[in-house]
A and B are shown apart, each in its own frame.
Chain A
Amino acid sequence: MNIVYSPIIFIGSKFIDYLSITGGIFLLFLNILRNFFKVNYKEVIYELHSVGVKSLPIIFMTGIFVGTIMVIQTGFYVRAYNITEVLGWGAGFTAFREISPLMVGLMFSGRIGANNTAELASMKVSEQIDALKILTIDPVVYLVIPRFIATIVMITLLTVITDTMTIISGALTSKFLLGLDFHIFLDSFFSYIKIEDFTVGLVKSFIFGIMISVVSSYYGLSAKRSSKDIGFLVSKSVVFTAVGIFLLDYILTTTFEL
């Protein structure tokens, strides 16, 4: 009897788990929207600094990686068919629309999302969140909403920096690795890339930012009383946000492209 029931029990319990997690995330999101304007602006500025300024190095690095990798990978085709005039378009289009929001999202889920979960979870374990509740301070208003605002503002702005670094590093790579002049890359880039390609990337990043901050805060607040949980919660939150980024990217790509 057990053999018959156990797979059903397994699938059912997993299903209920995922439903309760997604439900909790949506409830937290509604809670954030409802209390959005009660936020403490001092906290927001502090979080803007800690989310934005401290992520600059990794964002610079992401931009350099994306630009260089896209030019190298497009370079194989450019060299095979000798079509130098589409190099800037090929590298820039893929980077702006797809790869740079995706990479910024993944870097944010690693740098900001994981940090969020770790901070909130260790506050929960050391009963600081209970202390806030006793002082009649809503932890969502005081801790979650500033992080939410900082993440969605900064991920959009930092995507612009990544895109800029993509152009610079792409032009440098095409000069020093493919031996093309700067103006060949930049001409092809500026004559074929439309402003929509840039804004589509920004919209994608903005939506990823909303998801990353809500999911990571949810996992942080769901910590139990033991410190052993924290590491595993961070791991789970990073995995969930990665799947979420790819799913949202799929939905957004199909709405923009088809």
Chain B
Amino acid sequence: MFIIKLLKDLALYLGGLLVYSQKHSDGITKLLLKTVITSFTTKLRLKETIKQAYIIGYNSLPFITVIMGILGIILVTEFGAQGVKITGSATEVGGPYLQLIVRQFGPFITGMMLANKVSTSISAEISSMKITEQLDALKMNGANITQYLIVPRFIAGFFMVFILIIYAVLVAEISGAITAKYVFGVPYEVFVNFQFVEKSDIIQGVIKSFMIGAFIPIIGVYSGFMSETGSKSVGDSATRSVVMGLSAVGVIDLVVGGVMFVITG
């Protein structure tokens, strides 16, 4: 009897989880479609878009530099130590490392970091606008909220995340090369090796980057709009946006990686 009850509870739990995540992914996709349509049909607020691009792109540069620099050191240390154990030298590490960074770790880790930084700050901004009734004031003045608030963030995020991911790959490659030189004694010209990087790897990285760039600002906005009244809901919406953003980056990475694996194979 106990086991049946346990299984029933588990099924209820999983079902509730599915309904919850289905509801939100539905809402996020609808908001994304609405934003894309609005961004083609209405006039873009260029000044606001540039300001958002500055906030999303330029202000994330030091953060991304630190994270990807450390990631490069960590990965090359791990791979190089394995290479030394198996083949006696770490000269073979460079090619596969660059391929993995382009295909997997560049978009994935940068996406997760930007989900942390960009989604939370967008959702905190929107939700504090909502609880102080600034959104209602905008609506009363006849402003189109999607065109006025969401589209500039979406356009800025879409392009800035792509550029940041290219920058992140560059930083990781440089820090990896420096680590390989000073820890394992591999010269730069041996480590920096483009042989392994194929067209399909670059396509995979670019698709992941654009999808992550589209979803990160939208998730921030969506979770900001979900907040209710009271100061507690600002913190809640920031927390929710981190969880949603990290999950979305994971799902995008998994789906694009799986599809590319099936296509190229």
Contact = CB atoms under 8 A, between A and B. Distances in A.
B235 A122 contact: yes
B121 A230 contact: no
A231 B66 contact: no
B46 interface: no
A62 to B, nearest CB: 7
A69 interface: yes
A214 to B, nearest CB: 18
B78 interface: yes
A177 interface: yes
Nearest to B118: A235
Contact of B78 (A119, A242, A257): A257
A249 B235 contact: no
Given A69-B253, A76-B261, A121-B235, A235 B74 contact: no
Interface in B204-250: 231-232, 234-239, 242-243, 245-247, 250
B32 interface: no
Interface string A245-257: 0110110011001
A233 B77 CA distance: 34
A51 B228 CA distance: 24
Determine the main DSSP class of A at the interface with B: helix
B189 to A, nearest CB: 23
Interface in A70-119: 72-73, 75-77, 79, 93-94, 97-98, 106-107, 109-111, 114-115, 117-119
Contact of B231 (A61, A73, A227, A242): A227
B124 to A, nearest CB: 2
Contacts, number: 144
Given A231-B128, A239-B63, A58 B235 contact: no
A107 B246 contact: yes
5 contacts: A61-B250, A65-B250, A114-B238, A230-B232, A242-B113
B236 A118 contact: yes
A258 interface: yes
Contacts of A107: 246
Interface string A48-69: 0000000001100110010011
Contact of B243 (A76, A111, A177, A231): A111
B242 A230 contact: no
B78 A253 contact: yes
Given A110-B246, A246-B74, 8 more contacts: A68-B258, A72-B261, A73-B103, A110-B116, A111-B242, A177-B261, A227-B231, A239-B116
Interface string B78-114: 1001100000000000001000100110001000110
Given A106-B246, A250-B74, A177 B121 contact: no
Interface centre among B100, B247, B253 (most CB of A within 10 A): B247
Contacts of B250: 61-62, 65
